[in-house]
Structures are given as C-alpha cells and as structure tokens.
C-alpha cells in the first residue's frame, strides 16, 4: 500500500513539474510576444491590406479594446510558439514508462508533430488567409465600407492559424493510433466516408461556423487524411 502511495506521489510530482515547465514556457513566450505585439499585429494585418488596398487601418470601438487585443494576441502567439515545449513535456512525462525503442519513436513523433503543426500555421497564413480575405473583402461596394475591428481581426487570424496547425496533426495521430495497436492497419481506409463526414463537422467547428473557412480547411484535411493512410501503408 505504501509502495502504491509513494509511486502515485512520484507521478504527481513529475506531473506537477512538467505542468510548471509548460506553464512557464507559455508565460515566457507570451511575454516575448507582448513585447513585440505591435510588429506582430502589423505583420498579421498585411494579408488584409493586400486583399483590400484601399484599407489602411483598423479601428477599435472600446477604450480597452486595443490593450485587450494585444494581450489576447500575445497569449495565442505564446501558445503557438511554445507548442514544441508543451509536446516535449507531455512526451517526457510518458517516457519513463516506455521501452527504449518506444522512446526513440517518441522523439521522432515530437519532431514530426512539431513540423506538421508549423506547416499548418504557415499554410493558414500564406495560403488560406489571402484567398479568404480577398473573398470577404470583395463585398465592398458603394454604400458599404469595411471597418474591421482590431480585436476581432487579430483573433480571427491567430485562431485560424492555430486551428490549421492542430488540424495538420491528423496524419501523426493516425499513424500513432496504428503503431500502438489502437486500430487495425486498414481501419482508416475502410472507414473513410465516416471520417470525411467528421472532418467536415470538425472544420465547421474550427472555423467558428464560417462556411468558406470550413471549406478551405476541409480540403487540406482530406489530403492530410489520405496522406496519413499512405504513410500507414508504408510504415504501419
């Protein structure tokens, strides 16, 4: 009984240490992001100004909106920047109970998961946002002038980038589910139509109900799903 209590206490201490490190990583990254919040916000505004050259500035309608917007931007940017650390800490918490070969696989998993997450964020900003913003700003006409709010726009861009970053983890999750034996090797191929429906629902939720964003998110998710099936066939 004492052994179980001591073992549980060790795990709780280890979990607390990993959580503290993860929290510190988010705080530090968010703090650095806040220092550079204005350059970051100007960088995020570029796709909007490129999509509608007549627009040269954003507005805020509440006295505290600009300050709160920079805080939210810093926190979201901190989460994105600290993602490798969070993933590594989660892995290190599980690693002591794994075999040596599983630890080796885990390091590769952390690398590829981080790479996929970064790829999703870059894809959202450089491929999706320009097309999406150009479409949304195309409704401008006589008597209808766009006045995007600072807080809403920054949240929209960062949230979309974060959603794509997480969505790009699909192949990684598929391969890992197969490698650890949670599902059979041909499971994802045989259940393709159900997962496609799930992808559409997930994209709609991640896009916060915006149909165009959902479509733009669904298409690469379908490709990633098929890529995951291909990787499973090769390495599964």
- Residues 129-167 have pLDDT tens digits of 888 888 888 887 777 888 888 888 988 888 888 888 888
- Residues 34-62 have pLDDT tens digits of 999 999 999 999 999 988 888 888 888 88
pLDDT given for residue 206 in this prediction: 66
Query: What value, to the nearest 5°, has the Cα angle with vertex 235 and ends 166 and 227?
Result: 45
- Asked if residue 105 belongs to a domain, the reply is yes
- Asked if residue 235 belongs to a domain, the reply is no
- Asked if residue 40 belongs to a domain, the reply is yes
- Asked if residue 61 belongs to a domain, the reply is yes
- Asked if residue 82 belongs to a domain, the reply is yes
Q: Which residues, at least 6 apart from 154, have a Cβ–Cβ distance to it below 8 Å? A: 41, 44, 69, 72, 73
Cα(58)–Cα(150) distance, rounded to whole angstroms?
A: 5
Q: Which residues of 116-155 are buried (b: 16+ CB within 10 A; e: fewer)?
A: bbeebbebbbeebbeebbeebbeeeeeeeeeebbbbebbb
- Residue 139 phi/psi, 5° resolution? -80, -5
Percentage above 90 pLDDT, the chain: 11
Cβ atoms of 90 and 17 within 8 Å: the answer is no
- Asked if residue 222 belongs to a domain, the reply is no
Which range of residues forms the domain containing residue 32?
Answer: 2-168
- Residues 63-89 have pLDDT tens digits of 888 898 899 889 988 988 888 888 878
- Asked if residue 95 belongs to a domain, the reply is yes
- Count of structural domains within the chain: 1
pTM of this prediction? Answer: 0.74
- Asked if residue 139 belongs to a domain, the reply is yes
């Amino acid at each position: 009984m004492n052994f179980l209590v001591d073992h549980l206490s060790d795990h709780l201490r280890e979990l607390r240490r990993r959580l503290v490190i993860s929290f510190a990583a988010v705080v530090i990254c968010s703090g650095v992001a806040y220092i550079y919040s204005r350059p970051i916000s100007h960088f995020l505004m570029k796709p909007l100004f490129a999509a509608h050259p007549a627009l040269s500035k954003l507005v805020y309608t509440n006295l505290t909106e600009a300050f709160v917007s920079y805080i939210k931007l810093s926190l979201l940017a901190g989460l994105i920047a600290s993602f490798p650390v969070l993933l590594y800490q989660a892995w290190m918490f599980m690693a002591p109970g794994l075999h040596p070969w599983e630890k080796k696989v885990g390091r590769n998993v952390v690398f590829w998961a981080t790479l996929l997450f970064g790829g999703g964020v870059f894809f959202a900003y450089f491929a999706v946002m320009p097309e999406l913003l150009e479409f949304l700003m195309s409704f401008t006409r006589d008597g209808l002038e766009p006045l995007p709010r600072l807080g809403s726009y920054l949240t929209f861009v960062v949230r979309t980038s974060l959603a794509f970053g997480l969505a790009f983890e699909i192949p990684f999750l598929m391969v890992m589910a197969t490698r650890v034996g949670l599902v059979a090797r041909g499971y994802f191929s045989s259940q393709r139509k159900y997962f496609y429906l799930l992808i559409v629902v997930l994209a709609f939720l991640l896009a916060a109900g915006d149909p165009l964003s959902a479509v733009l998110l669904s298409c690469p998710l379908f490709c990633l799903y098929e890529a995951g099936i291909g990787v499973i066939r090769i390495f599964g």
